[in-house]
């Protein structure tokens, strides 16, 4: 191939290669082949300049992929060895992620899709990778997700999700913005105390309403940590509790009648 325009269009550098060929059309899409150019390499461990080529190896770099086709660069990479200290190393290629067979361009596309709410499964399928790989790309890009500031109207509700700490996790949400504030790993009192205890007093004071189900610990939480908050039981949970209570009462009455009748029958 005379022009290395395809490398530029995938965010890579033609100067990193001494020769490229392709594309060859295959069942999955297009395959390019490239031979990495030898460079004047310095040893990353001892900075010695006397490094030589140890061997070449083949690595596949996915340039781009979607549901219809994949474009792959079969890359003949160079492994160098330092004559001073014996360390072997490679020189990163511009645009290709170190340790991953992905270009930064494709990773950016995947992250944008995940940010828009696509599932890991859909993104993995669209880019022809495994779900685990998609999760890893996301985790690497977001090593830590910070919580949002406590809002004026804070919703708290638990959902079943077992962790070593608890069977239930808690979801904190901002009612007015319809946004998640945080997901915390337990609804138990000790954990809630630790979590809210780490938040500054002025921030906690901003919460005016805490909307909860009828779980006791949340009322405790408001009393102890949210001095300006009124506790409001949300309608869904009030209705559910009343229905549960009604059924409970109904069952209890049935049980009571049967119990009394049995005793009555025995006596006769």
Q: Which residues bind Zn ion (CB under 5 A)?
A: 43, 45-46, 48, 82, 84-85, 87
Q: 130: how many CB neighbours lie within 10 A of its CB?
A: 11
Min dist. Cβ of residue 46 to Zn ion (A)? 3
Nearer to Zn ion, 85 or 262 (CB): 85
d(CA 176, CA 155): 10
CB atoms within 10 A of CB 198: 7
Q: Shortest approach of Zn ion to residue 47 CB, angstroms?
A: 7
- The first and second tokens of residue 91, run together, are 């020189």
Provide, rounded to whole angstroms, the least separation between the CB of residue 168 and Zn ion.
54
Q: How far apart are CA 100 and CA 92, in angstroms?
A: 11
Please state the φ and ψ torsions of residue 118, each to the nearest 5 degrees. Answer: -65, 150
What are residue 55's DSSP bridge partners?
79
State the nearest-atom distance from the C-beta of 84 to Zn ion, in Å: 4
Toward Zn ion, which CB reaches closer, 87 or 100? 87
Q: How far is the CB of 83 from Zn ion (least distance, A)?
A: 8
CB of 97 to Zn ion, least distance (A): 25
Query: What's the closest the beta carbon of residue 41 comes to Zn ion, in angstroms?
Result: 10
Q: Which is nearer to Zn ion, 82 or 155 (CB)?
A: 82
């Amino acid at each position: 191939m005379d022009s290395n325009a395809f490398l530029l269009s995938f965010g890579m550098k033609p100067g990193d290669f001494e020769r490229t060929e392709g594309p060859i059309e295959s069942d999955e899409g297009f395959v390019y082949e490239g031979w990495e150019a030898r460079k004047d390499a310095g040893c990353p461990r001892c900075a010695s300049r006397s490094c030589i080529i140890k061997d070449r190896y083949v690595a596949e770099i996915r340039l781009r992929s979607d549901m219809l086709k994949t474009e792959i660069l079969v890359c003949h990479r160079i492994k160098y060895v330092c004559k001073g200290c014996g360390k072997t190393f490679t020189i990163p290629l511009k645009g290709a992620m170190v340790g991953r067979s992905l270009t930064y361009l494709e990773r950016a596309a995947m992250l944008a899709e995940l940010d828009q709410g696509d599932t890991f499964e859909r993104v993995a399928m669209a880019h022809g990778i495994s779900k685990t790989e998609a999760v890893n790309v996301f985790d690497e890009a977001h090593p830590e997700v910070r919580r949002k500031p406590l809002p004026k109207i804070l919703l708290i509700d638990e959902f079943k999700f077992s962790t070593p700490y608890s069977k239930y996790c808690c979801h904190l949400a901002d009612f007015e913005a319809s946004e998640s504030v945080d997901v915390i790993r337990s609804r138990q009192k000790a954990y809630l105390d630790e979590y809210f205890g780490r938040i500054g007093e002025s921030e906690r004071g901003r919460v005016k309403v805490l909307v909860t189900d009828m779980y006791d610990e949340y009322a405790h939480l408001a009393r102890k940590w949210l001095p300006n908050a009124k506790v409001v039981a949300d309608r869904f949970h009030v209705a559910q509790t009343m229905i549960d209570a009604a059924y409970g009462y109904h069952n209890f009455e049935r049980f009571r009648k049967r119990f009394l009748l049995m005793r009555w029958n025995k006596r006769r």
